[in-house]
């Protein structure tokens, strides 16, 4: 049965055969544990993990259920597992049916009068003086050799059957099924939660602010953050024609997110003969897209989040599927896309704990947005629960795409030029550094130079436009500095080489045995270490790596990375790795083991999105 719809179920047991039911181990389930024996029903304590790492007695309950069923008893359980998502059957019930050889039997009970509590499952209390209906569906047998794909098929079958018997029970009893239906299910049927006043105010406000948009863009152009030759794209005016055939639109924030989804673009475009439009918001990501997008893909700057600009963009491109990445939640982009019935997905989904708390406090703003996604593919189970709590209708923990992304490309010619210029000098690369870290790295270089003769440190700032300011600052502190954006190469007297160019991290990682990954010695949450590992570099990180928690936990657990806290520790760790080949190889092996334990996200993500893509030969989506 569905959770929350079981209050009258015990009266079905009229004796004469053995019945057991499952009840969770938490305090709220104590009332069930006390009540069930009054109906001659045994109580088995335990519950499924529902994606949690914590064992909640599910293994014990499964073993007990199989034993009881093989002994001739009936075992009763809810198909959906607290805390949800509601009305989504778990695979546990199918596994029990497979192992026991007994069928699943969908049951529902409804009454004409009831109280529906405002809980995740819409817990229903049936009231006296009601018309009551019990509906029993057909038995569903699961073969004992069912593989993972078959189990999923039967999971969907029991889910469909439970929805059917529940709907019939309420129809027979004359009860209002909407009152007993969980909010997340109602929102799915209606295409998302209704827009609250705060979201409506945002949409009106962004529309009224349109006259200021050109001024904002001109200011950003003067700061080097916008391409003046392509400003029309920010107003939804396309700079390229829409190709014939189906189009998939992917939106990524910047370089890191773009790198992560490039393999996904290649996979899906090749499998469906699909055209792709990729939108990003930064000039660095636009440069990367120009270098690495295939022939059937085009880059556009994402339109400003104003209803009119978004509509112009959608009118032109008419995408068949819209895919956002990581934490790119733009209200007007999401709402306008959903209103056109374009399937909407969020891939590689993540958010910080602080962001989650902020979204949860403003549920009238967040719920209408997250409930409009047809699917959210989160980086891990914890994040999947966060998205579910915020109203996402279907959430899957698919893993992190950055694990499966190939390492950034190497310019062989430039790599050789750098090697010739360095003349065999040992190199430490400090990649994706943020403001405040360059001074720490420079201090580490000074200490490292005392023990490692001729060492050269390369700093590749996260934001290359900071390169000149960094170079001038370090020169003022007595360092010999060369700057790549000026066409300079490191010379014999170069202490620190500023690599302030776009798309060259692969070349830099191929140049070094040791890489410090920035954003981690200051509280910025860290940057992606996988690209460095892909080129064989040993990774050093500061303590602040919350943005890549899964990566670093696995790497540190397998000794595939080393954490440092300051300049002295950075210098000591780099010196040990540069001088010790055995230690270097040990760290590389640990990193490889760690990444293997996390891989598979690309396959899972591509498979999940393929469901939403048009079949070959389908017509082009029309503007609406």
Question: What amino acid positions are annotated as catalytic residues?
Answer: 257
- State how far the Cα of 517 lies from the Cα of 530, in Å rounded to an integer: 10
DSSP string, 97-132: HHHH---B--EEEEESSEEE-SSTT--EEE-SS--E
Contact in structure between 117 and 125 (CB atoms under 8 Å): yes
β-strand pairing of 132-136 with 107-111: antiparallel
Question: Considering all CA atoms of the chain, what is the largest pairwise distance in Å, rounded to the nearest integer?
Answer: 93
Residue 103: partners with Cβ closer than 8 Å, 6 or more residues away: 97, 139, 140, 141, 142
Q: How many other C-beta atoms can be found within 10 angstroms of the C-beta atom of residue 31?
A: 10
CA 298 to each of CA 141, 169, 310: distance values in angstroms, whole numbers, following the listed order = 49, 52, 18
Residue 143's nearest CA partner among 105, 104, 97, 182 is 97
- State how far the Cα of 362 lies from the Cα of 288, in Å rounded to an integer: 35
- State how far the Cα of 105 lies from the Cα of 83, in Å rounded to an integer: 23
Contact in structure between 524 and 515 (CB atoms under 8 Å): no
Contact in structure between 452 and 512 (CB atoms under 8 Å): no
Q: How far apart are the first and last CA of the chain?
A: 41
Residue 460 parent element (H or E): strand 456-461
Q: At 344, give phi and psi (nearest 5°).
A: -125, 125
């Amino acid at each position: 049965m569905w959770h929350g719809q079981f209050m009258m179920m015990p009266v079905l047991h009229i004796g004469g055969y053995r019945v057991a039911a499952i009840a969770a181990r938490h305090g709220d389930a104590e009332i069930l544990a006390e009540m069930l024996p009054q109906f001659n029903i045994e109580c088995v304590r335990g519950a499924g993990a529902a994606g949690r790492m914590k064992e909640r007695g599910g293994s014990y309950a499964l073993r007990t259920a199989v034993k009881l069923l093989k002994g001739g008893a009936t075992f009763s359980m809810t198909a959906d597992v607290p805390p949800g998502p509601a009305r989504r059957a778990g695979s546990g019930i199918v596994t029990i049916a497979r192992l026991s050889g007994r069928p699943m039997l969908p049951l529902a009970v409804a009454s004409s009068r009831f109280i529906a509590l405002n809980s995740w499952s819409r817990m229903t209390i049936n009231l006296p003086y009601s018309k009551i209906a019990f509906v029993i569906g057909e038995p569903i047998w699961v073969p004992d050799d069912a593989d993972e794909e078959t189990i999923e098929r039967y999971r969907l079958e029991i889910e469909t059957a439970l929805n059917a018997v529940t709907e019939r029970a309420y129809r027979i009893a004359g009860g209002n099924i909407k009152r007993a239906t969980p909010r997340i299910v109602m929102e799915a049927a209606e295409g998302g939660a209704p827009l609250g006043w705060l979201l409506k105010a945002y949409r009106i406000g962004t529309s009224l602010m349109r006259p200021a948009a050109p001024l904002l863009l001109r200011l950003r152009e003067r700061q080097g953050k916008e391409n003046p030759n392509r400003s029309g794209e920010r107003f939804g005016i396309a700079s390229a024609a829409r190709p014939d055939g189906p189009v998939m639109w992917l939106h990524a924030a910047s370089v890191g997110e773009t790198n992560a989804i490039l393999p996904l673009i290649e996979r899906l475009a090749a499998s469906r003969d699909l055209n792709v439009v990729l939108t990003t918001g930064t000039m660095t990501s636009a440069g990367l897209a120009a270098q690495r997008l295939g022939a059937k893909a085009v880059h556009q700057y994402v339109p400003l989040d104003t209803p009119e600009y978004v509509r112009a963009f959608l009118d032109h491109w008419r995408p068949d599927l819209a895919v956002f990445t990581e934490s790119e939640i733009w209200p007007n982009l999401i709402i306008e896309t959903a209103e056109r019935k374009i399937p909407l997905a969020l891939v590689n989904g993540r958010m910080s704990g602080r962001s989650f708390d902020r979204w949860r406090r403003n549920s009238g703003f967040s719920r209408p947005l997250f409930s409009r996604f047809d699917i959210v593919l989160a980086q891990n189970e914890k994040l999947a629960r966060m998205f579910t709590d915020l109203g996402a209708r279907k959430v899957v923990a698919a893993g992190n795409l950055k694990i499966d992304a190939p390492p950034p490309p190497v310019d062989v010619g430039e790599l050789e030029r750098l090697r010739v210029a360095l003349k065999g000098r040992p190199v430490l690369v400090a990649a994706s550094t943020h403001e405040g870290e360059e001074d720490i790295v420079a201090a580490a270089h000074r200490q490292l130079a005392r023990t490692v003769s001729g060492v050269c440190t390369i700093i590749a700032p996260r934001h290359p436009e900071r390169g000149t300011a960094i170079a001038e600052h370090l020169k003022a502190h007595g360092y010999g500095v060369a700057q790549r954006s000026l066409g300079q190469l490191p010379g014999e007297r170069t202490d620190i080489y500023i690599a302030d160019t776009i798309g060259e991290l692969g070349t830099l990682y191929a140049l070094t045995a040791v890489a410090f990954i920035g954003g981690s010695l200051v509280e910025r949450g860290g940057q992606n270490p996988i690209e460095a590992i892909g080129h064989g570099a040993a990774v050093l990180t500061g303590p602040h790596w919350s943005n890549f928690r899964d990566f670093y936990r696995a790497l540190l657990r397998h000794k595939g990375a080393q954490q440092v806290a300051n300049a002295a520790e950075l210098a000591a760790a780099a010196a040990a790795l540069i001088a010790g080949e055995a230690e270097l190889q040990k760290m590389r092996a640990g990193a490889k083991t760690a990444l293997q334990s996390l891989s598979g996200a690309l396959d899972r993500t591509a498979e999940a999105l393929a469901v939403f893509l048009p079949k070959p030969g389908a017509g082009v989506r029309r503007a609406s």
